[in-house]
Structure 1
Amino acid sequence: MYLSHNNPNKKLTIHLQEVCVYLLDMLKYVPLSKQDRAALEYIGKIVAVSHDFGKYVSYFQQYLQTGETKGDLHHHSFISAVFAAHLLRHPSKWQASWFSFAPLIGYFVVMHHHGNLRDISLDVTKSRHIAENNVQDSLYHRVRVLKQQIDDITIHASKIVKDLSPLWAELSIPLSLADELNSFVQHYEKAFDEVYRQYYWIDKQKKQEVTKELYYYVLLLYSALIDADKLSAANIERKARLHIPAHLVDLYREANYDVSVTEGTNGWRNRMYKTVMERIEQMARANPDQKLFTLTAPTGAGKTLLSLSVALKWREQAEKQYGYSPKIIYALPFTSVIDQNEQVIRDLFSPLHDFHENEQRYLVKHHHLSTFQYKAENEELPLRKALLLTESWEAELIVTTFVQLFHTLIGYENRALKKFHQMAGSILILDEIQNVPVEYWPLLRTVLYQMADLFSCKILLLTATQPLIFPEEETVELLESETVKPLDFFQEMERVEIHWLGSDKGAYSPEEWQDLLKNLFEDGKTYLAIFNTIRTSIEIYKGVKKWLQEREYEVVYLSTNIVPRKRKSRIEKIRKLLKHNQKVVVISTQVVEAGVDLDFDVVFRDLGPIDSIVQAAGRCNRNGTSSELGKVYITPIERDGKLEAQYVYKSVHTYIAKEILPKEPVSEQRFFDIIIQYFTQVRERKSHDASEGLIRAMEMLKFDAKDRMIDKNKPKYVSEFQLIEDARQSVDVFVEIDEQAQDIWRQYMQNVVEEKDFEKRFENDLRLKRDIRQYVISAPIQLVKNLDRDLYEKTRMLHLSNDLLNQYYNSEYGLIRSSEMVDAWIM
């Protein structure tokens, strides 16, 4: 009996059948044209049954049974890939324009189903090169191994045909297995020629219109294959999809809010909700095929519930009109916002009769700090299976980060790409999309266009500061009707004013800023001050703390310079102080701008991009309860003659913001116009080279190369895409700030670092991950370079033990930074 896996033993044909069934089921939920679906399902069958064909080699079967190897002769992906290309090289009836590339697609996705995708040019050769023993280095060893494996397959061909034939017939594959296997062992080199010919078309851009789409079909099949393969290998049975009522948000609003009021802040939100609901009904009748939408609403408008209501109604429309249920993917820029949004969604789903028995089948939260649990049919799955299902987005609604989303859409890594098929056909809600770096806007536009065009994704850009990623005529604004536009809702609210307070010389030193605060100070008001660098935030906190305490104020410091656990507790403390009308001043960095629902009378902010300034303004008189307008003071900070904003943001952003901001007070009614001016100028002044380089890499299937040289301005490989730039001069540090941290570190050392059993170590690492990250900060290397590095290779972080704490860490403001150190460590 041929096996695919052991511990427990699994018959190879059972595994191939499961992968095929799972893969075809995954494709079923992707809306496609008839010709594209027929082509994809045919290739999918071939890819599924051939992806582990190499496991029929006796060397692999021996390795599975005994663990013994003969060099790399037990490796199975390459011979499987060549077999897939061989099966797909026949002329076919399928009419899809891209189907002529089927052998290359099958070869490429099967070859890399256990690893990451790489530059297609590294994977091709010609039969002539094989005959002349002149194969390129990237394939030379694999081809030598292949020749010996072909000899082995030849010897055992009759047994292989006998084992595989029943499955072959069951899947209705029109090719004769016996004939194809005989042809393969005799003429396998021809498959290389066919793949090379198709690579030549791509390399020389012979079929440019087709190759623009090829990347997306490659990722769809690769994703479905590797996800199906992992689920089968883990013996996880896929569950049926779940229904979510389209009017769930309406019912929730009726139960928790006064939806009939038309005046005040709640009336303002109700009228926006009504406008959007009427708009999507009108669009469903007039233009049901529209895919790109915007929802431009002021801060405090209740965009989370509003967008979810839109998505659920779109989902119902798709079910009725097209017969499939799109997944809803809600993506945000920061992990700090996700917990808050997830809780809103959990409250929304709670009335569903089976939600608590199937929590993760309904809702999955996924980012790099996620805890992994998966509850289905009232059963908590083991951690490894929970991890697999979470990372595969096996849920109806997924809350995630831009990093997870865009590094899948523009990706090359196996672990990220296994969820690509879940995005195809989905409803994508992109919250605060302006946080994507401007140089990537053309790239983002191209990718979202293709996802909408090829796979019928509906895409909703959700923000108070709508960037100009798409031309206005290509999107539909949801907060709009014949009688009202988003601008009307912006102009209706008068909660805050922005005041430019540049000094006589243009900017303030930290010492001058402290004097400014004292001059503007009004006892009894609550204050938030946001600075661009940790260094300045600490300096000012230390400078004003005593003066404010003498006036009976609670002074709280916030930044990523303190461990996440303490940061979270301080935010809760601030909420309580504000709720009970206590006198409080918060000194912070930009970390407070991202989804932290706090409301102050006065906000000070260092100069920054206009969208960041508007975000900061959203923390001032947020609920419109004050009898007077909240004040937002823009106070540029300089050090050594340079604006600190330029340490953190690109100079162009700083210059444009300074140029655009009026020097007279700006009412909230004018925010919309200023935002449009800002993004218009930013778009015009930014280079598109980075986007153009990545788009070309995607079209050329140039995913990654081992020795690539990263050039952010002119990338050549998909792998050079970085949504967040690497902080190459920083390192993670675990900080033992209390006994609980000490205990967690002891558990981590004992149960992860020192654990010999791989499975136990893996599960313990997952179990402790969230607790560990609550005490980790990112620190400039120069500040912590003297800490013990002996365990760094195992832990990927340094360890600041409690006995050294006072030398490196202050309980009030976190990591101690020397006074002469100039840095721009933000957030």
Structure 2
Amino acid sequence: MQSIAHIREYDKKIQTVSEHLLGVKILAENYGEKIGLKHVVGLAGVLHDLGKYTEKFRNYIWDAVHYPEIAEKRGKIDHSTAGGRLLYNMYHDNTTDPFKKILAEIVGNAIISHHAYLQDFITPELNSKYLFRVQEKDICEFEKSKECFFRYVMTEVEFDKYVNNALDELKTIMDRTPTQVIFLTKYIFSGLIDADRTNTREFEDNKENKVYFDHLCLFQSYYKKLIDKYETFNRSATSDHPINKLRAGMAERCDKFAEEPSGIYTLSIPTGGGKTLASLRYALKHAQMHPKQRIIYIVPFTTIIEQNAKEVRDILKDDRHILEHHSNIVIDEDKNNDGNEEEQEGLFNTKEKIKLARDDWDSPLIFTTMVQFLNVFYSKGTRNIRRLHNLSHSVLIFDEVQKVPVQCVSLFNEALNFLRKDAHCSIVFCTATQPALEFVDHKLEINADGEIIEQVDRVNDAFKRVEIIDETSYPMTTDYLGNWINKKTLEDKQSILIILNTKAVVKDLYVRLKNDDSFSLPVYHLSTSMCPAHRNRILREMKDLLKAKIPFVCVTTQLIEAGVNVSFSCVVRSLAGLDSIAQAGGRCNRHGEYEELKYVYVIDHLEEKLDKLKEIKEGKILTKQILADLSANPKAHGGGLLSREAMTLYFRRFYTVKFKEVLNYPITDLGDKDMTDLLFNSYRNGYAQDYKKENEGLELLNTSSYKTAADYFRVINDITQPAIVPYGDGKELINKLNSAARVEELTELLRKAQQYTINLYPNEVNELSSEGGLEIHLDGQVIELKERWYSKEHGLDMEGEGELGLALV
């Protein structure tokens, strides 16, 4: 009886199990070879669907395609446990070789988990999901599966030789520290997931979907275009402006520093110093001299992606190879699956096609967010971790790295240490406000003398364009602030940027100014309640007004602070962390258009509710303390609020005093445990010792709680769901998604849809659902927001009074 791995939808052609296993093996080997684990990752690939060599699975797939009315229900055929059990039986039992045990555990866990997420070796309840699967679970026709594997895929002699090659690779790379084992396991899992989905997709599309590009040639071409752009800067009429000369000097310094070996470095270019292009110059040259496969920009806000990607794309003249990854459009798959039940795998329904859509970061130049980066390493499910192996051999540019959520600091540092040491990455922290991440317990292994810019203090002094004015002595209400702004615009006839800490007060002030008959200037509003395409339109309009020197007011949240290239003559910033004050200052007199210093007013807004925004709240307290010190002694802390001395003091207090207890991602539901306990400190967390006592020994070398950690992980505490909004092309994209037949078409449409997507909180989803404001598409995988609930002024409108006009098209 012919084995079946998949049945193609349009012509019912069968892909045999051996064809699939050998195809996945080749892809997995390519992914593993990048870090010296060719056979380790290949081993996961060649065994992952061993359990499909059963009559039960064959009949299940055949009936589901040809007789769907009698097909067994989803979730009844376990085909992933068999490969993990084979490894356990052959290389874990009856051996004292620690490398054989480690190999069986880390590869076996990837195999049994490839339809869910990596299983816990030991759970908080003191059981082992991994051992249950490989030792106890009842799986059908296991001996037959083994027999077919050794007959049709590899002989036992070939297999044993292959495993020995994998063992040699482990012995070469592995130092057996828990932290390294964690990340190598995740890397293997990533390679398996991507190889499996890529091979399946190629079979369904009946063609090879891999896009090949010559990294070296491409980066050489990019580098030449960038240098040509710098030459035009040097020939411009404003090239002799002091700020432009400083920018040119720092860019040349980045070019020279690119010759240094790969490592973790800081690039402390002042705000407005041209760090995007300067860091790109470093990355492109470094990628050529120390062969790298991709350059990845990781930024805190989607607004920075939009601007930085456009700036780079305009210079490089390339749309094809530049990927913007704002967020996941598709609702995350059901993460409650503990791996004991299988997906309806092998059939090409809508959910399967969406799962197969290329979402693997296999592009030479990528722009993404800190949320997406951290999700790659720690989020549950298979969609995010699929991208991990493509981070290897990359230049990673972290723009405004100080925005790492404080509870994720230790996790962030450990991930970067792995990328530098084992995945051959070069990493640059590109910000004017370096956050001192090397002073925490799970410290970042940053290079000694790793600052790229020489004489940073001198550069900062030369770059000074603003004066900070402390207006915090009298807390302001929205009405008071509105009157204060009105008076300021009447007196100075200038454009003012107002940055407040919450969307609620931003919207209130915007409405207050719009409805004030005595206020004559145009008023703009920016918020994360708007989709990226909407925000981009507003930013373009504002830039046109700034260029024409037409006064207006913009009221916004902090989304505008990092990386958005606008330059106002006056900025008002609600009291927040010192880094936020500095970033707000970077939106004022950004290019030195005014010879005199311009003003950044720091105010204390009385009506902001910050109880759920603890980082902003505590940062505000620390900044207020430093302001008080400077008021008492103008020479304190380096003589200025934005001095390097003040900034270093701020971050050390922020991490070691205010948030020391939360840096390791505490999990309150588990008592005194935190994320680093579950993952990196496997023996200190107590589970291993307790398990050993209860079970009269410990059969495992790995004890980490992968799935429990992933279940609790959130970069941002509130869970959100993506929704495509009916703005611009959003409605048309929904229609196209519903009619897309091929995986390749779905991939492209899902990428485009990122520009028309917002994130909804659970309470918003519930309220909108009850009011009929949402529509579900693609078998529940994609949410659409209805037109009444999207406003041309505010974006998401929970009142259902939104109105979309022709001006938005």
The TM-score bracket by the shorter chain reads 0.7 to 0.9
2:302 is equivalent to residue 305 of structure 1: no
Contact 1:46 1:84 in 2 (8 A): no
Q: Classify 1:99/1:655 alpha carbon distance in 2 versus 1 (closer, same or farther; 3 Å).
A: farther
Q: Say if 2:467 and 2:600, in contact at 8 Å, map to a contact too.
A: yes
Matches of 2:209 and 2:757, distance apart in 1: 37
Match of 1:446 in 2: 414
* Alignment correspondent of 1:655: 621
Structure-2 residue corresponding to 1:55:
52
Within the alignment, does 1:470 sit opposite 2:451 as a pair? no
**Distance change >3 Å, CA 535–CA 463, structure 1 → 2:** same
State the 1:680 CA deviation: 1.5
Residue 310 of structure 2: which of 331, 343, 350 is its match? 343
Letter in 2 for 1:335: T
Q: Which amino acid aligns with 1:29?
A: K
| Aligned equivalents of 2:267, 2:100: Cα separation in 1 | 37
TM-score normalised by length of structure 2:
0.76
In the alignment, is residue 593 of structure 1 matched against residue 565 of structure 2?
no
Residue 544 in structure 1 maps to residue 506 in structure 2: no
1 CA distance for matches of 2:198 and 2:308? 29
Aligned to 1:364: 323
Structure 1 residue matching 2:553: 3-state secondary structure: strand
What SS does structure 1 have at the residue aligned with 2:601? strand
Query: Could you say if the C-alpha distance between residues 338 and 15 of structure 1 is closer, same or farther in structure 2, counting changes exceeding 3 Å?
Result: same
> In the TM superposition, what is the alpha-carbon distance from 1:467 to its structure 2 partner?
0.3
Aligned-pair Cα RMSD in Å:
4.3
Query: How many angstroms does 1:330 deviate by?
Result: 1.6
In the TM superposition, residue 538 of structure 1 has moved relative to its aligned partner by 3.0
Alpha-carbon shift at residue 99 of structure 1 (Å): 5.3
Residue 647 (structure 1) shift: 5.5
Tell me, yes or no, if structure 1 residue 4 matches structure 2 residue 5.
yes
- TM superposition shift of 1:726: 1.0
The alignment status of 1:425 with 2:375, answered yes or no, reads no
Identify which range, 606-615 or 57-66, moves more after superposition: 57-66
Separation in 2, partners of 1:525, 1:536: 22
The structural deviation recorded for 1:600 is: 0.8
Q: Return closer, same or farther for 1:315/1:762 CA change in 2, 3 Å cut-off.
A: closer
Task: State the secondary structure of the residue aligned to 1:418.
Answer: helix
Question: Where does 1:21-36 land on structure 2 (aligned, <5 Å)?
Answer: 21-30=26-35
Whole-angstrom distance in 2 between the partners of 1:439 and 1:125: 26
TM-superposed CA distance for 1:809, in Å, is 6.9
Matches within 5 A, 1:162-173: 162-165=151-154, 169=158, 173=162
- Taking the aligned partners of 1:140 and 1:171, their CA distance within structure 2 comes to 23
Q: Are the aligned partners of 1:599 and 1:619 in contact in 2 as well (CA < 8 Å)?
A: yes
Note the alpha carbon deviations across 1:770-793, whole angstroms, 9 max, x for none: 559737574764975861278569
- Seen in structure 2, the aligned counterparts of structure 1 residues 280 and 461 have a Cα distance that, compared at 3 Å, is same
Q: Which residue of 1 aligns with 2:138?
A: 145
Tell me the residue number matched to 2:122: 121
Match in the other structure for 1:821: none
Q: How many matched pairs? A: 705
Which digits, 9 at most, give the CA deviation of each residue in 1:225-255, with x for residues without a partner? 1211111112235454412345436523344
Kindly indicate whether the alpha-carbon contact (under 8 Å) linking 1:428 and 1:460 is maintained by their aligned counterparts in 2: yes
CA contact (8 A) 1:59 1:70 kept: no
Q: 1:399 matched to which residue of 2?
A: 367
Do the aligned residues in 2 keep the contact of 1:328 with 1:427 (CA within 8 Å)? yes
Q: Does 433-442 or 82-91 show the bigger shift?
A: 82-91
Q: Secondary structure at the match of 2:568?
A: coil
Question: Which structure is larger by alpha-carbon Rg, 1 or 2?
Answer: 1
Please state how far the C-alpha of 1:265 moved relative to its aligned partner: 1.6
Residue 745 of structure 1, CA deviation: 9.3
Quick one: distance in 2 between partners of 1:656 and 1:330? 30
Deviation per CA, 1:52-89, whole angstroms, max 9, x where unpaired?
22222222222233337678774311112111333434
For 1:629 and 1:225, how far apart are their aligned partners in 2? 56
Can you list the C-alpha shifts for 1:706-742, whole angstroms capped at 9, x where unaligned? Answer: xxxxxxxxx96243222122157xx77777689x77x
Q: How far off its partner does 1:799 sit?
A: 7.3
Which one is further off, 463-472 or 630-639? 463-472
Equivalent position to 2:295, from 322, 328, 337 = 328
| Aligned-residue offset at 1:139 | 4.2
Normalised TM-score (structure 1)? 0.75
Does 2:246 correspond to 1:268? Answer: yes
1:774 is aligned to 756
- 8 A contact 2:378–2:710 mirrored in 1: yes
- In structure 1, the residue matched to 2:287 is 315
Which amino acid in 2 is paired with 1:532?
N
2:677 corresponds, among 682, 696, 701, to: 696
What do the CA deviations read for 1:552-583 (whole angstroms, capped 9, x no partner)?
42222222345554433222211111111112
Alpha-carbon contact 1:736-1:801 (below 8 Å) kept:
yes
Alpha-carbon separation, structure 1, partners of 2:305 and 2:545: 23
Task: Show structure 1 runs of 5+ residues with no match.
Answer: 31-36, 127-134, 176-206, 320-324, 372-381, 706-714, 819-827
Aligned position for 2:343: none
Q: What per-residue deviation string (whole Å, max 9, x for no partner) do you get for residues 256-300 of structure 1?
A: 31179565221010111223333344xx3xxx3x62111111111
The corresponding residue for 1:197 is: none
Q: For the residues of structure 2 that align with 1:561 and 1:470, how far apart are their CA atoms?
A: 35
Partner residue, 1:528: 497
Distance 1:25 1:92, change over 3 A: farther
Question: Structure 1 residues 91 and 425, CA, compared in 2 at 3 Å: closer, same or farther?
Answer: farther
CA apart distance, 1:446: 2.4
CA distance in structure 2 between the partners assigned to 1:162 and 1:271 by the alignment: 65
Find the counterpart in structure 1 of residue 660 from structure 2.
Answer: 687
Residue 719 of structure 1 aligns to which amino acid in structure 2? D
Q: What are the equivalent positions in structure 2 for 1:756-775 lying under 5 Å apart?
A: 767=749, 770=752, 774=756
CA gap of 1:797–1:20, structure 2 versus 1, over 3 A, is closer
1:493 has 2:463 as partner: yes
Is 2:650 aligned against 1:678? yes
- Comparing 629-638 and 484-493, the one that deviates more: 484-493
* Match of residue 824 from structure 1: none
- Write the letter of the residue equivalent to 1:570: I
Aligned to 2:701: none
Work out which of the residue numbers 227, 234, 237 in structure 2 matches 1:251: 227
Change (3 A) 1:272 1:476: farther
Query: Displacement of 1:366 after TM fit?
Result: 2.1
Give the equivalent residue in structure 2 for 1:628. Answer: 596
Cα deviation, 1:142-166, whole Å, max 9, x if unaligned, reads 94532x4136458xx3x65442347
Contact 2:571 2:585 in 1 (8 A): yes
| Residue of structure 1 aligned with 2:255, choices 277, 284, 303 | 277
Query: Would the aligned equivalents of 1:77 and 1:113 in 2 still touch at CA under 8 Å?
Result: yes
Q: Tell me, in whole angstroms, the C-alpha distance in 1 between the residues paired with 2:15 and 2:135.
A: 27
Question: CA 1:452 to 1:545, structure 2 compared with 1: closer, same or farther past 3 Å?
Answer: same
Query: Structure 2 counterpart of 1:365, which letter?
Result: E
Q: Which amino acid aligns with 2:83?
A: S
8 A Cα contact 2:357 2:746, kept in partner:
no
**d(CA) in 1 for partners of 2:535, 2:72:** 54
Q: CA deviation at 1:476?
A: 4.8
Letter in 1 for 2:199: S
AA at the equivalent of 2:626: I
State the Cα deviation string for residues 394-444 of structure 1 (Å, max 9, x = none): 222222111221111234421111121112332221111111122322332
Given residue 774 of structure 1, which amino acid in structure 2 is its aligned partner?
Answer: Y
Instruction: Answer yes or no: is the 8 Å Cα contact 1:565–1:774 preserved in 2.
Output: yes
2:88–2:134 Cα contact (<8 Å) kept: no
Counterpart contact for 1:220–1:421, Cα < 8 Å: yes
Q: 1:486 to 1:390 in 2, by over 3 A?
A: farther
**2: CA distance, partners of 1:627 / 1:91:** 78
Is this contact kept in 1: 2:726–2:790, CA < 8 A? Answer: no
What do residues 280-333 of structure 1 show as CA deviations (whole Å, max 9, x unaligned)? 44xx3xxx3x621111111111111111221222222323xxxxx343222111
Is 1:719 aligned with 2:708?
A: no
Query: Partners of 2:94 and 2:210 in 1: how far apart?
Result: 34
Q: Which segment is superposed worse, 384-393 or 527-536?
A: 384-393
